[in-house]
Amino acid sequence: MGKLYVVGIGPGGLNDMTLKAKKAIEESEIIVGYTKYISMIEELILGKEVFQTGMKQEVDRCKKALELSQNKVVSIISTGDAGIYGMAGLILEMKKDEIVEVIPGVTSSIAAAACLGSPLMHDNCLISLSDLMTPYNLIKKRVLLAAEGDFVISFYNPRSKGRPNYLRECIDIIREYREDTTPVGIVKNAMRQGEEVSITTLQNFDETKVDMMSMVIIGNSNTFIKGNMMITPRGYKL
């Protein structure tokens, strides 16, 4: 009898996954994942059978993982948390009688926040700017409502070659509701090789510095910059 672990490995470094995630991967006979993510955990899976697929082959990857798990212990990996824009949803949608366990991980807005200081200390929302499976009008509507509600906003998949202008357009929507001086954090490759952290403001934000490996976090009306940190106060009286 096999089993499928749906594992969020966190931002990428082996030390940023949970002990449970590490154990699941160690216990697994087969590891399934997107090539780039497999390479992040190479050290941990030496000698194991690996089934890698490229981008946009998510359905095939999940089908294969479920199939293999019928008589082997298998881990299918996502970076961050598998339940946030990861593989958990697809696996559970497709699952029949296979045994599946979802193992949570540190999602990239949380990893990026730790690099920036503490921008997520108050009510916040996660919005993906990818329109592959979500109409852009709905994305923009969510950005507008999040801006109006003074939520801290984390943008996943903020910018790609196919949609170079969405991020700019969404920032402009937010500027209708927030001050020019509102802090914005950009973290590229949070907590993994090539990490770059920068803090700017809505007014000075330059979207050309952002790519698919980046996380963009927009502060709320109380967020401030202190030294090299971006801080959203929870509201404690000091």
Of residues 131 through 150, those in contact with a second copy by CB under 8 A are: 132-134, 138-139, 141-142, 145-146, 148-150
**Which DSSP symbol is given to 158?**
-
The DSSP element (H or E) to which 218 belongs, if any, is strand 214-218
One of 26, 27, 123, 172 touching a second copy (CB under 8 A): 123
The answer to the question of residue 98 lying near a second copy (CB under 8 A) is: no
Provide the CB-side half-sphere exposure for 93 (13 A, CA).
Answer: 10
∠ at Cα 217 (128, 22), nearest 5°? 70
The span from the CA of 83 to the CA of 100, in Å, is 13
Residue closest to 94 by CA, chosen among 61, 120, 72: 61
One of 2, 23, 37, 169 touching a second copy (CB under 8 A): 23
One of 12, 33, 117, 183 touching a second copy (CB under 8 A): 117
Task: With contacts defined by CB under 8 A, name the span among 35-43, 99-107, 163-171, 175-183 that binds a second copy.
Answer: 99-107
One of 41, 45, 76, 106 touching a second copy (CB under 8 A): 106
Q: How far is the CB of 231 from a second copy (least distance, A)?
A: 5
By beta-carbon proximity to a second copy, the closer residue of 50 and 92 is 92
The answer to the question of residue 85 lying near a second copy (CB under 8 A) is: yes
One of 40, 41, 90, 187 touching a second copy (CB under 8 A): 90
By beta-carbon proximity to a second copy, the closer residue of 130 and 214 is 130
The interface with a second copy within residues 46-75 (CB under 8 A) comprises 58-59
In this structure, what token pair is assigned to residue 160?
């790609």
Q: Would you mind telling me the total number of residues written for the chain in this entry?
A: 238
Q: Which residues, at least 6 apart from 4, have a Cβ–Cβ distance to it below 8 Å? A: 65, 66, 68, 69, 74, 75, 76, 91, 98, 99, 100, 101
